[in-house]
C-alpha cells in the first residue's frame, strides 16, 4: 500500500471517529448543563411553593384551593403536562393545587431528588418538607422534556457537521494528493535518470521532511557512480593490460608449433608457460581487487596476532626470495610491547603484508636484505632496490600504474590491493625513499591520524 493511500485511509478512519467522540462529549456536557438548569428551577419553585402554601386557607374545602384552569387564550408552546406541582397538609391530605400534580405520589420519607415511573412516563421529582409545620411540597417534571431538549441541541450541532464531514474529508484527501506531488515528481526524476548520471537530485521543491532522504539518495548516487566508474576503469585497464600478454602468448605458441628449430620451440614453450603464469597472477589480482572494492566494511573482526600472519606472508614469498637470492628479516619489538594493536581480518591483513613483501623482494637486487619491522605504532617494510623517483611516489597505488624503466614483471595491482585492505582496517600506507643514506624504498603502515 502506498503512503498516500495509507494517509487517506487514516483520514477516513480518524475523522469519523473524532466526530463521534466530539458528539459524545457534546451530549454528556449538554445533558449536564440542562439537568443543572432544570434541577435548579425545580428547587427554586419548590422553595417558592413552600413559602406560599401556609397562606392557603386550610379551613376551606380543599377543592377551593385549586389553581385556576387555563381554558382559553394563546398558550404558545407551553407543555403544561410536563411539569406538575403537588402539596400535602401536615396530616397527609393533598391540597389539589394542580390537576397534574394529583398523580404525584406523596412518597413519605423521600427528600430531595428522585426518579420514578408514573403512568408509563419517567418523572424527576423533588420533595421539600417543613419539619416545623409538617407541610410537604413536590415538584415533578417529565424526563422526556429534558431528553427532547438535549437531542434538539445535539441535532443542531450534529447536522452541520454531518453535512460538512464529507466536504472536510474530500478537502483533506485533495490536500494530501497535492502534498504528495513532490514525492511523485521525485520518483519520476529518479526513474528518468541514467545509472551513470551522478548529478544530485534537486532540493528546490522537496518538502523539509524529505530533505534527509534526498540527501542520503544523493550520497548514494555518488557512491554508485564512483563504483560504476571504478568498475569501468578496472575493466578497461584489465582489457588493455591483458591484450599484450595474450598477443605474446599467441605469437610464442605459433613459434612453438611451426618453428623447425627444437631449441627455439623449447624457448617458445617456456615463454608460453611463463606467460600463462603471469596471466594467472593477473586474473587472481583482478578478482582480489574486485572483491575488495565490493566490501564496504569488514564483517568479522578479531584481535590480530601479527606473528602467524607475518610468517604466512613470508612463507608465501619464500620461493621468490630464494630465486632472487634476497634475504628477508622480520623484526619484532620487545616482549613487553605489542606490535600495532588492531582488530581485523587476519586473511586480508596477510594479503596486505604478502603484496608489500613480494613487491620489496622483486625490486631488490641479489644479495640484498628486505626487512619488515613491527613496531608499537607502525609496520615498516624496507628494501634495497633502486628507489622511486619523486614524481612516481605520488602515483604508487594507482591501479595498473608502474614506473618507467621497470624490468621486473608486474601489473601494478599489488600496492593497490594492499592500500584497499589498509583502508578497510582504518590504516594508511605511506611511501618514501630510504633516508639512511642507502638506496631503496620504505613502506610504512600506520593508523590513520597517527602518522609521524
Q: How far is CA 411 from CA 218, 353, 365, in A?
A: 35, 18, 20
Query: What does the CA dihedral 72, 73, 79, 80 come to, rounded to 10 degrees?
Result: -50
Give the Cα separation of 298 and 424 in Å (integer): 7
Q: How far apart are CA 33 and CA 30, in angstroms?
A: 5
**Which pLDDT score, from 0 to 100, does residue 1 have?**
61
Q: Which residues pair with 139 in a beta bridge?
A: 85, 126
Distance of CA 441 to the CA centre of its chain: 49
**Residue pLDDT, tens place only, 232-274:** 766 765 665 566 567 767 777 888 778 788 888 788 888 778 7
pLDDT tens, position by position, 48-72:
887 877 776 555 444 444 545 554 5
Helix and strand numbers (H, E) in the chain are 9, 11
CATH of domain 208-292: 1.10.287
Contact criterion met (CB below 8 Å) for 362 and 408: yes
CA dist 203 and 223 (Å) reads 19
Using alpha carbons, list the distances in angstroms from residue 320 to 154, 269, 313, 362, 408: 97, 22, 12, 8, 12
Domain locations along the chain: 3-67+80-168, 208-292, 300-447
Distance (Å, rounded) from C-alpha 77 to C-alpha 127?
Answer: 27
* Dist. CA 57–CA 62, nearest whole Å: 9
Sole residue written with cell 608460453: 272
pLDDT at 381: 92
- Rounded Cα–Cα distance for residues 421 and 415 (Å): 10
Q: Please state at what angle helix 262-293 crosses helix 414-424, rounded to 10 degrees.
A: 20
Domain 3-67+80-168 has CATH 3.30.450: yes
Residue of 409, 410, 383, 408 whose CA lies nearest to 285:
410
Instruction: Tell me the CATH number for domain 300-447.
Output: 3.30.565.10
Q: How many residues does the chain have?
A: 452
Read off the pTM. 0.46
Tell me which residue of 246, 250, 323, 312 sits closest to 280, measured CA to CA. 246
pLDDT at 101: 83
Residue 448: which residues within 8 A CB-CB, separation 6 or more?
426, 427, 428
Q: Give the orientation angle of helix 414-424 with respect to helix 346-362, to 10 degrees.
A: 150
Same topology for domains 208-292 and 300-447, yes or no?
no
The stretches in the chain having pLDDT less than 70 are: 1-3, 56-81, 195-196, 233-234, 236-245, 248, 278, 281-282, 284-300, 395, 397-413, 449-452
pLDDT value for 79: 57
* Strand, coil or helix: 79: coil
Residues paired with residue 369 on neighbouring β-strands, in sequence order: 327
Amino acid at each position: 500500500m502506498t503512503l498516500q493511500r495509507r494517509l487517506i485511509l487514516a483520514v477516513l478512519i480518524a475523522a469519523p471517529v473524532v466526530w463521534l467522540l466530539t458528539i459524545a462529549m457534546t451530549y454528556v456536557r449538554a445533558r449536564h448543563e440542562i439537568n443543572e438548569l432544570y434541577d435548579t428551577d425545580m428547587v427554586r419553585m419548590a422553595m417558592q411553593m413552600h413559602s406560599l402554601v401556609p397562606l392557603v386557607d386550610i379551613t376551606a374545602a380543599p377543592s377551593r384551593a385549586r389553581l385556576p384552569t387555563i381554558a382559553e387564550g394563546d398558550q404558545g408552546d407551553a407543555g403544561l403536562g410536563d411539569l406538575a406541582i403537588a402539596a400535602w397538609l401536615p396530616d397527609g391530605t393533598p391540597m389539589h393545587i394542580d390537576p397534574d400534580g394529583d398523580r404525584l405520589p406523596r412518597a413519605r420519607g423521600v427528600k430531595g431528588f428522585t426518579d420514578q415511573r408514573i403512568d408509563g412516563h419517567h418523572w424527576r421529582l423533588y420533595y421539600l418538607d417543613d419539619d416545623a409545620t409538617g407541610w410537604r411540597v413536590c415538584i415533578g417534571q417529565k424526563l422526556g422534556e429534558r431528553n427532547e431538549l438535549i437531542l434538539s441541541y445535539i441535532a443542531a450541532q450534529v447536522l452541520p457537521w454531518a453535512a460538512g464531514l464529507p466536504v472536510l474529508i474530500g478537502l483533506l484527501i485533495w490536500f494530501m494528493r497535492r502534498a504528495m506531488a513532490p514525492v511523485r515528481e521525485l520518483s519520476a526524476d529518479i526513474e528518468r535518470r541514467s545509472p551513470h548520471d551522478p548529478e544530485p537530485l534537486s532540493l528546490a521543491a522537496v518538502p523539509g521532511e524529505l530533505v534527509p532522504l534526498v540527501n542520503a539518495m544523493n550520497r548514494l548516487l555518488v557512491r554508485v557512480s564512483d563504483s560504476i566508474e571504478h568498475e569501468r576503469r578496472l575493466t578497461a585497464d584489465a582489457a588493455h593490460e591483458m591484450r599484450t600478454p595474450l598477443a605474446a602468448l599467441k605469437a610464442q605458441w605459433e613459434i612453438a608449433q611451426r618453428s623447425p628449430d627444437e631449441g627455439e620451440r623449447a624457448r617458445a614453450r617456456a615463454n608460453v608457460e611463463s606467460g600463462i603464469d603471469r596471466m594467472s597472477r593477473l586474473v587472481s589480482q583482478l578478482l582480489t581487487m574486485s572483491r575488495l572494492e565490493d566490501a564496504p566494511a569488514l564483517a568479522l573482526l578479531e584481535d590480530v596476532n601479527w606473528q602467524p600472519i607475518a610468517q604466512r606472508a613470508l612463507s608465501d614469498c619464500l620461493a621468490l626470495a630464494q630465486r632472487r637470492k634476497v634475504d628477508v628479516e622480520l623484526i619484532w619489538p620487545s616482549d613487553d610491547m605489542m606490535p600495532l594493536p588492531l582488530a581485523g581480518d587476519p586473511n586480508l591483513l596477510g594479503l596486505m603484508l604478502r603484496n608489500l613483501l613480494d613487491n620489496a623482494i622483486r625490486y631488490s637486487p641479489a644479495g640484498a636484505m628486505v626487512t619488515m619491522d613491527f613496531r608499537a605504532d607502525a609496520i615498516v617494510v624496507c628494501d634495497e632496490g633502486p628507489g622511486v623517483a619523486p614524481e612516481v611516489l605520488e602515483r604508487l597505488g594507482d591501479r595498473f600504474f608502474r614506473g618507467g624503466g621497470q624490468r621486473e614483471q608486474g601489473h601494478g595491482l599489488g600496492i593497490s590491493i594492499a592500500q584497499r585492505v589498509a583502508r578497510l582496517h582504518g590504516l594508511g600506507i605511506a611511501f618514501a625513499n630510504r633516508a639512511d643514506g642507502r638506496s631503496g624504498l620504505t613502506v610504512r603502515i600506520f593508523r590513520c591520524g597517527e602518522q609521524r
